[in-house]
């Protein structure tokens, strides 16, 4: 049992820092098990009163503390598990400290640690305190000079900014000195030392400055950084064109590391990436990997302005940099790969991750008001819903005012740490309009339900729309306000053609209705005939929409809605209803046939993009269906979903077979959107055919795997074979392992694939794999590939009636918590939604959560999430 309940940090308790740091000189003597860190800080009082100096520091062995050159005696200061406190200090002074740390023993991958024999750092959010004494909060911005000395085996010595000096030391080691001219919070500090190959390039910025670009990777891997380099250059150009933002240093570096808790980190001038989000070639990376690399490289680069030059005042403002930067990377991807397809993928991800979070006990506002561990708030809500809010803002105020507001924000806040209020104020000023009610989107948790009812008056040629909104209660927020919800909509005639109408006397094809009260009525005029309503086009707000549309309207939309998002959405709605009906024991066989036929027609549309067709064929996920069913029954959902896929396999056998044969890549491989789209459609066709495992389909799957010339096709073949099961699958699986056993990123895929096995034996297989020699739970990529994928990506097997899946996950969480709390906590989410499941399952899930919270020595990270998941309110 925990002995004391940890105390939350609250937004309302924010106080400006008592002392500011103008400059910091760091001197690292790098030794894997005993690194010495000397720090010299120029501090000055920030306010009128003399206050004690309190610096953060954890797991530091203090060697010395001195003020203005005078070493302090032990009684002049106090050190506990979290702080160094000096009761009396001058108004301005130099503080010098020396500590010893043990990077080799740092398994939390937070602070300074070793990965693959190299030193590297991760300081966001609160890792810098594991390196030296410092006010570890984002509103203390300092200029950094970093000197490091290491054995020459640590070939590259890197830190933020510009290299000032480097050379040999008399004792045969070497050193480097870096200076970063831009003041920054300590969470953006980075250091890397080790043997690395480099891929070099350069770019001339909009003002004609040449910037050197370097990507550092494992020896022998620089070819695999070529795609990331290309993505980096495109990102840099795009930010100049779309936001007028130019890069500011003469050097931009990225380092790829294998052991990393998250995806990547935007340290000033020295981004550090999880190697899974950087390295790619056609043999080892899938198209999905390429896509993610492109967007994460862009994301971290875009942080240079939205995050680094302008940072957060405190961690409650996390969405200020993350939501905005996700919005920027999604806009970039839309420009690179096609707006409709990108939007559909973003919404699928939002629904799968954010909607479930928002409808469970871990729901929180995009700007939360309290936390125990900020690491737990790097959530889909802060990132993805944070981005949706920016998108709505742009829809509401228009592209021009949006750009004006962004310019004002960059202008006003450059070089500062600020708040979400200050950000929104820039748009209010640009627009000359109050945006207070819009701000509620940041403070209110939960996914609004929007409903639209129609009344058509044939005589008057009017369409009356009744819109309502409600937001269900979330923990700690029982009553909800109406939010300003932009609903983009248009009308179609019975053939799916655009039907023009008038709004406020103006003839239009499309309009944005802002629903900002619980209820609103709106009458559109000049509506020539009874229309099909195409509402919430482009998913103009992160809400759950219901309407009174009949299935026939959805078929019209699926065939022809000019808004491609809604064309896709109509198919999703139809499929969702059919699967929910079947899993409730009331299958609509006729409806299923009709649906399969309509999908067949959509597939034969020559004008449509293959990537879009692949998305049409991709049914709502089991996780998404579980959200729509009360209580959720994962086994029934799995069967219902497979039944509908089986219906497509049989009904569209010929069409799918033709697609699969016809789309084979003959020319040279290209990871671009067009090539990826063709492969996606071909693999999706195979995936569906594999539900109907007769000999011809089994042979097709095996042939696909055998002939694969790239990782996308190899995984597509393997995954189809897995659905069919049996000897051919086991053979391919063994063959794949032999072929790729020396490639960690590929072996991650091998583990993840098996974690998704649909058969009864899946949990047994996963348990067996935890004893595989290649399973290394200390590596987050490997751990998530197996454990995370099983719990979050295989609902039917995770929710086994025996509770064995839950027990497995809880055991893993408790074991990982012993050495890496941040990553352990991120595994907990699948247990969080226990109240939404069939009561017998929910009870078993709850029991595991209770076992977790009562575990001796549990970290704050896991404690916070497990106790919130159990809380009654």
Show Cβ contacts of residue 62 under 8 Å, excluding neighbours closer than 6 positions.
79, 84, 97, 98, 99
Region of 257-265, 389-397, 558-566, 699-707 interacting with ligand TRP (CB under 6 A): 257-265
List the one residue from 133, 189, 227, 262 that touches ligand TRP (CB under 6 A).
262
Binding piece for Zn ion, criterion CB under 5 A, among 237-245, 316-324, 557-565, 760-768? 316-324
Helix (H, G, I), strand (E, B) or coil at 28: strand
Chain centroid to Cα 132, Å, comes to 30
Taking the C-alpha atoms of residue 51 and residue 832, their distance in angstroms, rounded to an integer, is: 42
Active site residue 300: yes
The residue among 217 and 265 lying less far from ligand TRP, judged by its C-beta, is 265
To the nearest whole angstrom, how small is the minimum distance from the Cβ of residue 126 to ligand TRP? 9
Using CB under 5 A, count the residues that bind Zn ion: 2
Rounded CA separation 382/678 (Å): 33
The region of 259-267, 404-412, 743-751, 793-801 touching ligand TRP under the rule CB under 6 A is 259-267
**Which of 124, 287, 294, 848: binder of ligand TRP (CB under 6 A)?**
124
C-beta of residue 291 within 8 angstroms of C-beta of residue 341: no
If you write DSSP's letter for every residue of 282-336 in order, what string do you get? TTT--HHHHHHHHHHHHHHHHTTTBTTTBEESSGGGHHHHHHHHHHHHHHHHHHH
CB 520 within 8 A of CB 495: no
Q: Is the dihedral of CA 122, 125, 126, 132 positive or negative?
A: positive
Stretch that binds ligand TRP, among 121-129, 335-343, 395-403, 844-852 (CB under 6 A): 121-129
Q: Which of residues 777-806 bind ligand TRP (CB under 6 A)?
A: none
CB of 390 or CB of 721, closer to Zn ion: 390
- Return the residues of window 72-111 that contact Zn ion according to CB under 5 A: none
DSSP of 487-556, one letter per residue? EEEEEE-TTS-EE-EEETTEEESEEEEEE-SSEEEEEEB---SPPEEEESTT--SSSEEEE---HHHHHH
Query: Closest separation between CB of residue 228 and Zn ion, Å?
Result: 16
**Count of residues touching ligand TRP (by CB under 6 A):** 13
837 interface partner picked from ligand TRP, Zn ion, none, CB below 5 to 8 A per type: none
Nearer to Zn ion, 275 or 325 (CB): 325
Measured distance CA(719)–CA(708) in Å, rounded: 13
- Among 121, 261, 557, 642, which residue interacts with ligand TRP (rule: CB under 6 A)? 261
Question: Does residue number 265 form part of the binding site for ligand TRP (CB under 6 A)?
Answer: yes
Q: How far is the CB of 335 from Zn ion (least distance, A)?
A: 19
List Cβ neighbours of 531 (8 Å cut-off, separation of 6 or more).
Answer: 456, 463, 491, 492, 493, 499, 501
- Answer for which of 136, 266, 289, 573 binds ligand TRP (CB under 6 A) is 266
* Residue 387 or 794 with smaller CB distance to Zn ion: 387
- Letters for 343-382 (x = contact with ligand TRP by CB under 6 A, - = none) are --------------------------------x--x----
What would the two tokens of residue 762 be? 């899946």
| Residue whose pair of structure tokens reads 């800080």 in the numeric block | 41
| Paired residues of 489 in beta bridges | 511, 535
122 forms part of the interface with ligand TRP (CB under 6 A): yes
Q: How many CA atoms lie within 13 A of 562 on its CB side?
A: 13
Q: Please choose, out of 8-16, 32-40, 261-269, 628-636, the segment that lies near ligand TRP by the rule CB under 6 A.
A: 261-269
Task: Residue 391: name the closest of 353, 445, 334 by CA.
Answer: 334
β-bridge mates for residue 26, sequence order: 39, 146
* x/- map, 307-346, ligand TRP, by CB under 6 A: ---------------x------------------------
**Which listed range, 119-127, 329-337, 444-452, 717-725, lies at the site for ligand TRP (CB under 6 A)?**
119-127
Identify which of 24, 97, 42 has the alpha carbon closest to the alpha carbon of residue 65.
97
What is the rounded distance in angstroms from the CA atom of residue 729 to the CA atom of residue 734? 9
Considering 98, 126, 300, 624, which one is annotated as catalytic? 300
Annotated active-site positions, please?
Answer: 300
Q: Which residues contact Zn ion (rule: CB under 5 A)?
A: 322, 325
Q: Which residues contact ligand TRP (rule: CB under 6 A)?
A: 122, 124-125, 261-262, 264-266, 299-300, 322, 375, 378
């Amino acid at each position: 049992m925990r002995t004391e309940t940890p105390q939350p940090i609250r937004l309302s308790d924010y106080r400006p820092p008592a002392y500011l740091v103008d400059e910091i000189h760091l001197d690292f003597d790098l030794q894997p098990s005993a690194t010495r860190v000397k720090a010299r800080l120029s501090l000055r009082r920030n306010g009128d009163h003399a206050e004690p100096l309190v610096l953060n520091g954890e797991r530091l062995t203090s060697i010395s503390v001195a003020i203005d050159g005078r070493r302090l005696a032990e009684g002049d200061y106090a050190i506990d598990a979290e702080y160094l406190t000096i009761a009396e200090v001058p108004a301005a002074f130099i503080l010098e400290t020396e500590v010893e740390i043990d990077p080799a023993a740092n398994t939390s991958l937070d602070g300074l640690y070793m990965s693959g024999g190299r030193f590297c750092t991760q300081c966001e959010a609160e890792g810098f305190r594991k390196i030296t004494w410092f006010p570890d909060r984002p509103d203390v911005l300092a200029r950094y000079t970093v000197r490091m000395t290491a054995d020459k085996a640590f070939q590259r010595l890197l830190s933020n900014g510009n290299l000032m000096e480097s050379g040999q030391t008399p004792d045969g080691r070497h050193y480097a000195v870096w200076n970063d001219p831009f003041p920054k919070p300590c969470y953006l500090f980075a250091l890397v030392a080790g043997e690395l190959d480099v891929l070099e390039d350069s770019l001339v910025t909009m003002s004609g400055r040449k910037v050197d670009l370097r990507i550092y990777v494992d020896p022998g891997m620089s070819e695999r950084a070529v795609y990331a380099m290309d993505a980096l250059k495109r990102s840099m150009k795009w930010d100049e064109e779309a936001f007028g933002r130019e890069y500011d240093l003469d050097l931009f570096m990225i380092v790829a590391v294998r052991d990393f808790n998250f995806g990547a980190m935007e340290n000033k001038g020295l981004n550090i990436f999880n190697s899974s989000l950087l390295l790619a070639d056609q043999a080892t990376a899938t198209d999905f990997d390429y896509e993610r690399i492109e967007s994460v490289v862009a994301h971290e680069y875009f942080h240079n302005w939205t995050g680094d030059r302008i940072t957060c005042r405190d961690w409650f403002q996390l969405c200020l940099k993350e939501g905005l930067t996700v919005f920027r990377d999604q806009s970039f991807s839309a420009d690179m790969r096609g707006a409709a397809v990108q939007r559909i993928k973003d919404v699928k991800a939002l629904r799968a991750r954010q909607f479930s979070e928002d409808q469970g006990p871990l729901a929180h506002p995009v700007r939360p008001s309290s936390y125990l561990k900020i690491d737990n708030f790097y959530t889909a809500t802060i990132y993805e819903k944070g981005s949706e809010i920016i998108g709505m803002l742009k829809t509401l105020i228009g592209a021009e005012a949006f750009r004006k507001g962004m310019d004002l924000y960059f202008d006003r806040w450059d070089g500062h740490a600020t708040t979400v209020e200050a950000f929104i104020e820039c748009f209010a000023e640009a627009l000359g309009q109050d945006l207070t009610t819009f701000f509620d989107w940041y403070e209110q948790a939960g996914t609004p339900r929007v409903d639209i009812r129609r009344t058509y008056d044939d005589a008057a040629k009017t369409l009356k729309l009744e819109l309502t909104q409600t937001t269900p209660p979330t923990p700690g927020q029982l009553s909800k306000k109406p939010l300003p919800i932009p609903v983009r909509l248009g009308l179609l005639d019975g053939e799916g053609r655009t039907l023009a109408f008038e709004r406020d006397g103006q003839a239009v094809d499309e309009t944005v209705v802002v629903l900002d009260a619980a209820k609103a009525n709106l009458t559109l005029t000049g509506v020539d005939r009874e229309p099909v309503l195409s509402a919430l086009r482009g998913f103009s707000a992160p809400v759950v929409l219901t309407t009174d549309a009949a299935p026939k309207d959805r078929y019209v939309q699926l065939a022809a809605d000019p808004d491609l998002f809604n064309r896709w959405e109509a198919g999703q709605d139809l499929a969702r209803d059919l699967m929910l009906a079947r899993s409730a024991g009331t299958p609509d066989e006729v409806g299923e046939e009709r649906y399969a036929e309509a999908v067949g027609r959509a597939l034969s549309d020559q004008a449509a993009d293959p990537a879009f067709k692949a998305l049409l064929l991709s049914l709502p996920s089991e996780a998404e269906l579980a959200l729509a069913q009360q209580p959720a029954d994962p086994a029934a959902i799995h069967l219902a979903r497979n039944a509908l896929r089986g219906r497509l396999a049989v009904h569209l056998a010929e069409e799918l077979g033709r697609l699969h044969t016809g789309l084979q890549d003959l020319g040279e491989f290209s990871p671009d959107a067009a090539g990826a789209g063709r492969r996606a459609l071909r693999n999706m066709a195979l995936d569906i055919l594999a539900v109907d495992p007769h000999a011809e389909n089994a042979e097709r799957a095996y042939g696909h795997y055998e002939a694969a010339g790239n990782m996308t096709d190899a995984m597509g073949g393997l995954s189809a074979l897995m659905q069919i099961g049996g000897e051919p699958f086991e053979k391919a699986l063994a063959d794949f392992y032999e072929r790729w056993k020396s490639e960690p990123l590929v072996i991650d895929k091998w583990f993840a694939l098996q974690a998704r096995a649909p058969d009864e034996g899946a949990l047994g297989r996963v348990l067996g794999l935890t004893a595989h020699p290649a399973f290394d739970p200390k590596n987050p990529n490997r751990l998530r590939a197996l454990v995370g994928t099983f719990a979050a990506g295989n609902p039917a097997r995770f929710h086994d009636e025996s509770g064995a899946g839950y027990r497995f996950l809880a055991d893993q969480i408790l074991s990982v918590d012993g050495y890496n709390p941040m990553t352990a906590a991120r595994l907990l989410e699948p247990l969080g939604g226990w109240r939404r499941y069939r009561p017998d399952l929910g009870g078993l899930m709850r029991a595991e959560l209770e076992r977790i919270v009562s575990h001796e020595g549990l970290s704050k990270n896991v404690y916070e999430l497990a106790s919130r998941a159990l809380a009654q309110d």
